[in-house]
Amino acid sequence: MSAVETGHASQSVMEQVGPNIIHHVSNSDISHPLYHIPPLFGIDFSVTKHVLMLWIVALLVGIAVIIPIRKFLSSNKTAPSGWMNGIEAIVQFIRDSIVKPNVGPKWVMTWTPLVLTFFFFILFANGIGMIPIFDVLGAFNRFALDVPASDSHNMINNILHGGVTATGNFNVTAGLATITFFSIMVAGTMAHGFINHWKNLAPHGLAWPVYIILIPIELMGLFVKPFALTMRLAANMTGGHIALLALLSLMAIFGEMFGAGAGIGVSVIAVPMAAGIAGLEIIVVLVQAYVFTLLTAVFVGMAIHVHH
C-alpha cells in the first residue's frame, strides 16, 4: 500500500467526507486527464471529464434535436408527429413566451436560435448530471470485475475522478455567459449602431454631474450580468449534488461515531431526504435552463429597447 493510500486509510470518516464531496462534484484533475494533449502556447488542452461531458452533451443534442428537425424539414410532412411534437412545443414556447416579449417581433427570429441553443444545451447538460453513469461503471468495475480503486492504469478508474455535471463547472458557465455578453453588444449595435449603443448605456438628458456616478455604475452592470449568469447556474447545479452527498455521508459519520446500528438508523431519515432532494434537483434542472435562457433574452432585449 502506498503512503497516500495509508494516509487515507488512517483518516477518520469526518476527515474524508469533505474531500470526497469535492472530488465527486469538481472536474477531474488536470494533472491526470482522461487524454493528455501536449500544451499549445502554454495552454493545456488535455481532455478532462467535463470536456468529455460537453462533447457527449453536444452529441446528444444533435441526435435528439438537430437531426429530427432537419429530417422533418426535408420531408414533405405538413405537421410534426411523435418526438417532433414535443420539440415544436418547446420551440414555440421559447419563441413566443420568452424571446418575442423581450426582443420584440422585429428581432425575434434573429435571437430565437441562440436562446434555443442555450436552452437545449443547458437542459441536456443539467439532466445528464442527474444520471450516475460513471458511478454505476465504477461499482461494476470494483465488485464485478474485482478491480481495486488504486489501479491507476484501469480505464474505468480513470474516468471516475470528478463530477459529470459540466454546468457545475464555473469555466463552462462563464463560457456560456461570455456568449451572452457579446450577444448583448451585437444586439445593441445591430439595433442602434456601434456608437449609439455605447451612448445608450446611460439615460439621456440628465445633469452632467450625474453621469460621473452613473456611467461607472452602468459599465459595472454590463459585466455583472454575465457574472450573475455564471454564478447562478454553476452554484445551483453544484449545490444540489453537495446536499445529496452530505446527507448520504451522515450514515458513514454516525456509523463511525456511534456504531453500525446508528448508521443504519440515520439511513432511515437520510435516504428519503436524499430522494426528496433528488426529485427537487429534477425541477432545478428544468428551472435553471429556463432561467438562463430567459435572462439572456431579457439582457438582449434591454440592449435593443433602451430605457423602456
pLDDT at residue 113 is higher than 90: yes
Report pLDDT for 13: 67
Report pLDDT for 178: 95
Q: Which has more pLDDT, 86 or 257?
A: 86
Report pLDDT for 117: 94
pLDDT at residue 94 is higher than 50: yes
Report pLDDT for 119: 95
- pLDDT tens figures, 182-218: 999 999 999 889 888 888 887 777 787 888 888 888 8
**Of 105, 307, 88, 34, which Cα lies nearest the Cα of 197?**
307
pLDDT at residue 96 is higher than 80: yes
Write b or e for each residue in 75-100: b if 16 or more Cβ atoms lie within 10 A of its Cβ, otherwise e: eeeeebeeebeebeeebeebbeebbb
pLDDT bracket for residue 2 (50, 70, 90) = very low
Q: Give the three cell numbers for residue 284.
A: 432545478
Of the segments 24-28, 127-131, 137-141, which one has the largest average pLDDT value? 127-131
**Of 132, 138, 174, 135, which Cα lies nearest the Cα of 156?**
138
pLDDT at residue 230 is higher than 70: yes
pTM: 0.84
Mean predicted confidence (pLDDT) in 108-125: 94
Q: Give the three cell numbers for residue 198.
A: 455605447
Tell me, what DSSP letter sits at residue 99? I
- Across 51-65, 74-88, 146-160, 184-198, least confident range: 146-160
Strand partners, 148: none
Distances (CA, A) of 129 to 26, 116, 123, 135, 148: 12, 20, 10, 11, 25
- CA 57 – CA 10 distance, rounded (Å): 39
pLDDT bracket for residue 45 (50, 70, 90) = confident
pLDDT at residue 9 is higher than 90: no
pLDDT bracket for residue 31 (50, 70, 90) = low
- pLDDT tens figures, 273-303: 778 877 888 888 899 999 999 999 999 999 9
**Whats the size of the chain, residue-wise?**
308
pLDDT at residue 123 is higher than 50: yes
Q: Which residues contact 198 (CB under 8 A, 6 or more apart)?
A: none
Q: Give the three cell numbers for residue 13.
A: 470518516
